[in-house]
Structure 1
Amino acid sequence: MPTYVTLLTWTDQGIQNYKDTAKRSKAFESAVQKLGAKLLSIYWTVGPYDLVAIVEAPDDETATAALLQLGGVGNVRTTSLRAYGQEEMERIIAKAAG
């Protein structure tokens, strides 16, 4: 399943409700599962991003739907990256090499 790395920053609403962040992560995990995806891990970070989430989803549409739901709640803004594992990258290189 494709992997997505999502960088999250808290909105004003999200930082005001920081005490609920662990509960919100569990709600996000449940919402992702209902869409057929999986939250592999979530990290709270120091620096330009407040959290990093690693999500597996069957396709880009499912990943985007999950992140739209997350952003729609109003606590975070997201930046998502499609990540490729070693086997996927080897297939990509083979395809590119012809």
Structure 2
Amino acid sequence: MPTYITLLNWTEQGIRAYKDTMARADAFAAAMQRLDGRLVTMYWTVGPYDLVAVLEAPDDETAAAALLQLGEAGNVRSTTMRAFGRGEVEGVIARASA
């Protein structure tokens, strides 16, 4: 299943309700499951981003739908990157070399 790395920053609303962050992460994990995806892990970070999430989704559209639902709540803004594992990159390299 494709993997996505999502960098998140709390909005003003999100930081005011920081005590709810665990419940919000659980709700996002449940939303991912309902869309046949998975929240692999979530990290709370110090630095330019407040959180980093690793997601798996069957396709880009599913990942985008989950992230739209997350953003709709108004607690975070996200930047998402498609991540390729070693085996996937080997396939990409083989294709590029053909």
TM-score (norm 1): 0.99
1:64 match: 64
Shift of 1:60: 0.1
Matched, 1:74 2:74: yes
Distance 2:2 2:76 in 1: 23
In angstroms, what is the RMSD of aligned CA positions?
A: 0.3
Per-residue CA distance 1:41-71 (angstroms, 9 max, x = gap): 0000000000000000000000000000000
Shift of 1:96: 0.1
% of aligned pairs identical?
63
1:12 match: 12
Shift of 1:87: 0.2
Distance 2:79 2:73 in 1: 16
Number of aligned residues: 98
1:38 match: 38
Deviation >2 Å, runs of 4+: none
Distance 1:56 1:31 in 2: 12
| Structure 1 unpaired stretches of 5+ | none
Distance 2:32 2:60 in 1: 13
Shift of 1:39: 0.4
2:54 match: 54
Shift of 1:81: 0.4
Per-residue CA distance 1:2-46 (angstroms, 9 max, x = gap): 000000000000000000001100000001100010000000000
TM-score (norm 2): 0.99
